[in-house]
Structure 1
Amino acid sequence: MIPGIADQKALRLLVVIASYGTANDAYLDRVIREYRSMSFDVDIMIISNMNKKPAAEIECVVGLPNKNPWSLPFAHKELFAARVDQYDLFIYSEDDILVTERNIRAVLDVTAVLVEDEVAGWMLVERASSGALNYPQAHGSFHWDCTSVTSRGHYLLAHFTNEHAASYMLTQQQLARAIASGGFLVAPHEGKYDLPCTAATDPFTQCGFKKLIPISHIDDFSAHHLPNKYINRLGVDRKQLDAQLSVLMQIAREGNTVIPLFGAETRLWHSMYSKDYYEPARDEVLSGVPEKAAVLSIGSCSAANERRLLQRGNRVVAVPLDPVVGNGLAELGAEVVLGDVITARAKIATERFDRLLFVDVLQFVRDPAHLLRLFADLLAPDGRVIICAPNRPSLRYAWKCARSSNVFRRWGSFDSVGIHDTTVGKLRTWCAQAGLAIEKIERCAPDRVSPTFRFLSPILASDLVATATRRGSPKPSAREARGMEQMEVSGGSAVQ
């Protein structure tokens, strides 16, 4: 059991800090000063590729688990295991993460009300010179799991799908359980995350623990990423975070059963091709939407496309992946329809739309043709369906897979990896099964590709954008046809 708050000064804490090279030494010094200022009985160890000993009482263990420099963080596990009976708390951290006594006491407090397989964790926060806050873990496919919201004591907690915070804390009992699981003392490896991230997330990805963040007390569970290097590059600001947390806490208070539209995270190496919850606006998609057209966007997330459409004067109805991302869409003025696919479709059964958008959607559902068919009836007589999907497999995909030691297994079926291949042929087949006829497919070659080599777009193109109509729908007008031709010239090659 965790001792009561009155006894916490007597707790023994082992901190192991990974510090490769010298680039972060100034941050390392700051981190060490913080730990040495705490009222706990703290021992600090450094793992590094070189001898670092900033003080006599700090031990430095030199050496890498294997020849890959990125394997260094895995060295902390043996140190923890060898000392599991000597300490009450164990913290692993990279050398630029400032964990405070406030953070530790907050985790201790909530741990007392958690169930056996739950571990409290913190989110990383960065501070701009203006004082603005940035939360860099929110990028790519990482998001709040809206089905995970729970109450423990006076805390509301939720799971954020990016378990990597470059640090974690376990109690003695939790560490012993992690070791006994067989998933902790393992050789350096990677899968969902890269090597250093995997070293910091194994307790959650393969030792049976679920990481929960107390969203009702987010400031107590925010650890400072000292370099502040992701500000204006990736992450969400405090206003965005608060809006997301507000939705999660409302779900908890109302006791609602929330069902996401569909899952959008793959089981590929490094979660490759998962849905980008923060995706930018796609010009190649938006150029196919006329002004004033009524638009239905299925599977929307970041609202970047929807924002641009609303600014142009389009009416936008959005069926978001979940209520958390849907909140941002509603604030922009989009009409948001929540629920699973069947529920959402029923709510707008009498509506008709000029454009249906499926942006990075079809590859994540088991039956893409069914999803298309379900919403195709909502098309206006001269309406169009615009589909955007990754050009998969492609040379780009094969190159990324080649970096994995399990390339062929990870290339597998939808059941094994959670994503369909989305070739030109697949898109044609799904549309045909849904009663749609493809007018054109545009291959979006990377910007870096010279026009001279655009003939290689079938293997170099990162995305495919298809425009389809219901069979028997009228052909595009001359003006629309000219617009499509211009789009082909500027964006890639068309497949007829």
Structure 2
Amino acid sequence: MDILAVLVNYGDEQLNYLEQVVSELKSFKNYKVTIIVQSNIPLNIQGVDKVNVVELEDYQLLPLTCRKIIWENKNDFDVFIFGENDHMFLEKHIDKHLEYVKILPKNRITGLIQFEENETGRYYPGYHLQFDWRYDSVENYDGKKFAHFTNTHQAGFILTKQQLLTIGKRFDFNKLVKDLPLSFIDKLLNKIKKILKLPLKHPNNYSVKCKVNTDVYDYGGMKKLICISEFEDNLIHHLPNIYIDGLKGRNKFRSDSDKMDNAIQKLLKK
């Protein structure tokens, strides 16, 4: 199968991570991977098939140009990957995605959970604030269990050609979906829930960069699920470990492996 991986890169601070990601993608044994990098600077990295140097007034929109490249090539590849330059896609991620496509309903799509890891253990940067698992969302297919995690951000996505075309019918894949503002009542209810420490329904108001992938899961017409019975196979490493190590003021929210492990065990019992 032919895969198009479109990665985004800004500046030269994380080129060592980009090199690792590219090397891993090119090592896939069962897939032919073409890699295009959308960057604000010229690059010379072994394994990259094409670098598009993009000039923008607002480089927050640089990741969105990856979606445009994917859409331009929608008929030429079987599988499409979008990723930031520091998230390690593995061949098993593709294997599992394709396996799940065969057993899930058409209105379901699987995704990944980000993690960081060091000598102190594992950390899940997306598991913070009001984000949590929907404990009433467990679904069973072909002996495997799936559930919905309310934070749909994962700094990337994997799509089959059919999934891409399906999403393209729901919204303009070349543009970000405009979020609807919360009503006064919604804002008031969220404040009350926060005071009472109740789960909040996230309004999907992600940042511009995050929306490049969250739009796919929030507005593409398919509910995002994580395979919890094969949880380890559906984790993606955020290589810099900036949250777990507290770099650049990022040590904001703690979500260690105990919290996640307890949640997964609770879900598996459903």
Q: What TM-score, normalized by structure 1, do the two folds share?
A: 0.47
Q: Paired residue for 2:256, among 237, 254, 269?
A: 237
Match of 2:113 in 1: 123
Change in Cα spacing, 1:164 to 1:52, as seen in structure 2 (3 Å) is same
Q: Does 1:199 align with 2:228?
A: no
Match of 2:192 in 1: none
Task: Percent identity, please.
Answer: 29
Mapping 1:93-492, distance limit 5 Å: 93-130=83-120, 132-187=121-176, 192-231=205-244, 233=251, 234-251=253-270
Query: Where do 5+ consecutive residues of structure 2 fail to align?
Result: 180-203, 246-250
The alignment yields a C-alpha RMSD, in angstroms, of 1.7
Contact 1:183 1:203 in 2 (8 A): no
Match of 1:63 in 2: 54
Query: Cα distance, 1:184 vs. partner?
Result: 2.3
- Deviation digits for residues 185-224 of structure 1 (CA, Å, limit 9, x no counterpart): 2158666100110011111122212111001111000011
Query: Cα distance, 1:53 vs. partner?
Result: 3.3
- Deviation digits for residues 158-201 of structure 1 (CA, Å, limit 9, x no counterpart): 11111111011000000011112124221586661001100111
Secondary structure of 1:112's aligned partner: helix
Q: Paired residue for 1:80, among 63, 70, 74?
A: 70
| Structure 1, 219-228 or 206-215: larger mean CA deviation | 206-215
Match of 2:187 in 1: none
Q: Does 1:53 align with 2:72?
A: no
Distance 1:208 1:20 in 2: 31
Q: Paired residue for 2:25, among 35, 40, 49?
A: 35
Q: Letter of the 2:43 partner, please give it.
A: K
Tell me how many residue pairs correspond in the alignment: 239
Specify which structure has the bigger relative contact order, considering alpha-carbon pairs within 8 angstroms and separated by 6 or more residues: 2
Contact 2:71 2:173 in 1 (8 A): no
Secondary structure of 1:246's aligned partner: helix
Query: Cα distance, 1:55 vs. partner?
Result: 3.2
Q: Letter of the 2:131 partner, please give it.
A: F
Contact 2:22 2:47 in 1 (8 A): no
Q: Letter of the 1:225 partner, please give it.
A: H
Distance 2:215 2:145 in 1: 24
Secondary structure of 1:208's aligned partner: coil
- Deviation digits for residues 232-273 of structure 1 (CA, Å, limit 9, x no counterpart): 63242222211111111112xxxxxxxxxxxxxxxxxxxxxx
Q: Which runs of 4+ in 1 moved over 4 A?
A: 187-191
Change in Cα spacing, 1:73 to 1:57, as seen in structure 2 (3 Å) is closer
Query: Cα distance, 1:57 vs. partner?
Result: 5.2
Q: Letter of the 2:232 partner, please give it.
A: D
Higher-Rg member (1/2): 1
Secondary structure of 1:236's aligned partner: coil
Q: What TM-score, normalized by structure 2, do the two folds share?
A: 0.84
Secondary structure of 1:185's aligned partner: coil
Contact 2:22 2:48 in 1 (8 A): no
- Deviation digits for residues 263-310 of structure 1 (CA, Å, limit 9, x no counterpart): xxxxxxxxxxxxxxxxxxxxxxxxxxxxxxxxxxxxxxxxxxxxxxxx
Change in Cα spacing, 1:27 to 1:227, as seen in structure 2 (3 Å) is same
